[in-house]
Amino acid sequence: MIRLLVLDVDGTMTDGGVYYDATGNELKKFAIKDGAGLVLARTAGIRVMICTGRECEAVRRRAADLKITDIYQNVGKKAAFLRDFMAENGYARDDVAYCGDDLNDLAAMALCGFVACPADAAPEVRARADYICPQRGGEGAVRGAVEKILRGDGRWNDAVKKAFQVEL
């Protein structure tokens, strides 16, 4: 059963674009549907981690909005970082899911029991993925991955009921 969900940012939680305002601040567009999916993941007992190769205040802000405390930016070697994190926190391969979109995610994905990617991920990532979300990066792909995980192990209905006080 998945206990940790690792998320890439650019191209997964966002559309992969980099936007700058007039003062040079980097801006990113995040999907609200992904936020709802992450609320469901946490409600179902899944720890959520952001692991990205870049540093951006917008990512820190989005993580805070979503109450994600495991946020790691400027991670150059994601596989080595994730391997150490899993060992230090007692996670086995089958406990961990990864959602990413590009070549720099492949080595970390190999450590995980379930791999998802957005519809517009690199061909090599789509070939490695256990599930290709119908959504593109930044358009609800993270929500799609969470839904696949929770429906797959029977936690979906309970998570929806607890998180949103809705019966399905």
Task: Output the known binding site for substrate.
Answer: 10
Q: Strand, helix or coil at 23?
A: coil
Q: What is the DSSP string of 43-91?
A: HTT-EEEEE-SS--HHHHHHHHHTT--EEE-S-S-HHHHHHHHHHHHT-
What residue numbers does the annotated binding site cover? 8, 10, 101
Closest by CA position to 51, among listed 30, 34, 76: 76
| Binding-site annotation: residue ranges for Mg(2+) | 8, 101
Which SS3 state, helix, strand or coil, does residue 27 take? strand
CB 135, CB 143: distance < 8 Å: yes
Q: How far apart are CA 66 and CA 69, in angstroms?
A: 9
